[in-house]
Structure 1
Amino acid sequence: MTTKAPDLEWLEGDVPRAQGFDDTYFSRAGGLEETRHVFLKGNDLPERFHGRKFFTIAEFGFGTGLNFLTTLTALRTVSDAPALTFLSFELYPMTDDQLRRALGAFPELTGLAQDLIAAWKPEPGWNRLSVDGAQLLVGIGDARTLIGELRTQGEQGGQEDIFIPPVDAWFLDGFSPAKNPDLWDADLLKAAASLTAGDGTLATYTAAGWVRRNLQTAGFAVEKTSGFAGKREMVIGRKV
């Protein structure tokens, strides 16, 4: 099995759009600001980093790596920053050149982006990278299959299983549920809930009713809150 890069169209010069999913990787109104509003603020970050020795974030859809790099930037502002594990899934990993062009839209991330691209050699299955002291674990392939190989530390498992700390915060960032329903599948979200810490949280830009119901069935209490830019609503949640 080999990896397959996404087929991209570039809007306004530097906003990548996945032609296979008819959706952009980040908001044309500002990708960095969108990540800060939806995923960081939606999970009470970086405030929750304080006083923690370790913190684990997981997301569906690594994409350009923007969420990861924005999180690292926020982590740098915390004097007592925890050791970060960042877990992500990606079916169509970008090439170095695609990442470089997409992340070039964010000059404030240049140094971290260069570190990520230097380490970026995605292979099918699980890839362990270290960027700016954080552990990045990226599963290349179908998230619905790969998530079944994960176990939280302390669980029993086989030799092929990947052990991770319980997830403290989820960034649910697949393409639009209408265009990519696989990443919002009820069974996938149940598997995500099973990996989540007792006080774990989630945030997502979508407020689709069937996604909220799947999250509730999976074991999260969810609520709608103000979305980013022109989007009226998004969803935040907590494990129950």
Structure 2
Amino acid sequence: MAKPTSPDLEWHENDMPFSPEFGDHFYSHADGRLECDYVFIQSNNILDRWTQKDQFAIGELGFGTGLNFLETWRQWREVRGEGQILQFISFELYPMTADQIERALQPWPMLADLRDIMLSHWDQIAVGHAVEIEPGIVLQLQIGDVTQTLPNWQGTADAWYLDGFAPAKNPAMWGEELMQALAAHTHPNGTFATYTAAGWVRRNLQAAGFEVIRKKGHAGKRQMMCGTLGGAQLND
């Protein structure tokens, strides 16, 4: 299997990776790890939902540095029960190299051990193989253009992390057809969360069948969105 193209990066203050192609940074200036916890883990109510299923699947649009996966894995280790399985499937066009990931994740030494375990399998992960990182946790990248890979994916997710570059920078990752495909690959009453509150993204999610709520964003950001597929209990 041919190795996918890695991204061209610029490195800004504190070694923060920046994509010249999309004109955006890979994580928040206000601590990307804490944003992951607030936006994706808490807003998908994942810690409570993990206890209800023997197998839980998280889908992600935009793997980037792997920060969301590593923080999710760190918290999973703290609460998982015997025999439980977490599958983490991330859709990524340009997987970083191991050296790029290591450099990008330097601000979070609490994730260094997990990062190193992940990178020890990186040759397989970066070309799209599903890898059991440790017993009970499986990581797979779906490599390629998400408008093609997501509709053709055979799986379904319990929760989604919508973490592509900002909608204004990368509109194809937030379009109506892709949100329809997202809903088609979501378990009944599955959820999503995203840092953005763009109105056209909200309308695309609603058109796909998600009930959407807007809530206070992370670290002073005015709003973000989360919601449930067909979840009538949520109000916009």
What TM-score, normalized to structure 2?
Answer: 0.91
Secondary structure at the residue paired with 1:20?
Answer: coil
Unaligned runs of 5+ in 2: 231-236
Give 1:86's aligned residue. Answer: 88
Give 2:234's aligned residue. Answer: none
2: CA distance, partners of 1:124 / 1:205? 25
Give 1:128's aligned residue. Answer: 130
| Amino acid of the structure 2 residue aligned with 1:34 | E
1: CA distance, partners of 2:3 / 2:79? 39
Report Cα offsets for 1:92-141 as digits up to 9, x if no partner: 11011100101122100011100111111268874212223311111111
Give 2:108's aligned residue. Answer: 106
CA 1:131 to 1:122, structure 2 compared with 1: closer, same or farther past 3 Å? closer
Q: 1:13: Cα distance to partner?
A: 2.5
Q: Does 1:239 align with 2:229?
A: yes
Give 2:213's aligned residue. Answer: 223
Q: 1:149: Cα distance to partner?
A: 2.1
2: CA distance, partners of 1:122 / 1:135? 12
Q: 1:185: Cα distance to partner?
A: 1.4
1:45-194 matches, cutoff 5 A: 45-80=46-81, 82-121=84-123, 126-133=128-135, 134-151=137-154, 164=155, 166-194=156-184
CA 1:238 to 1:31, structure 2 compared with 1: closer, same or farther past 3 Å? same
Report Cα offsets for 1:184-228 as digits up to 9, x if no partner: 011111111011111200000000000000000111000100101
Q: Is the 8 A contact 2:59 2:90 kept in 1?
A: yes
Secondary structure at the residue paired with 1:177?
Answer: coil
Q: 1:23: Cα distance to partner?
A: 0.6
1: CA distance, partners of 2:195 / 2:40? 8
2: CA distance, partners of 1:191 / 1:70? 26
Q: Is the 8 A contact 1:215 1:222 kept in 2?
A: yes
CA 1:167 to 1:110, structure 2 compared with 1: closer, same or farther past 3 Å? same
Quick one: percent identity of the two aligned structures? 44
1: CA distance, partners of 2:56 / 2:194? 19
Q: Is the 8 A contact 2:125 2:131 kept in 1?
A: no
| Amino acid of the structure 1 residue aligned with 2:220 | G
Q: 1:26: Cα distance to partner?
A: 0.6
Unaligned runs of 5+ in 1: 152-163
**How many residues of Structure 1 are paired with residues of Structure 2 in the alignment?**
227
Q: 1:51: Cα distance to partner?
A: 3.0
Secondary structure at the residue paired with 1:43?
Answer: coil
CA 1:57 to 1:137, structure 2 compared with 1: closer, same or farther past 3 Å? same
Structure with more strand by fraction: 1
1: CA distance, partners of 2:158 / 2:141? 17
1: CA distance, partners of 2:215 / 2:124? 35
Q: Is the 8 A contact 1:193 1:218 kept in 2?
A: yes
| Amino acid of the structure 2 residue aligned with 1:9 | E
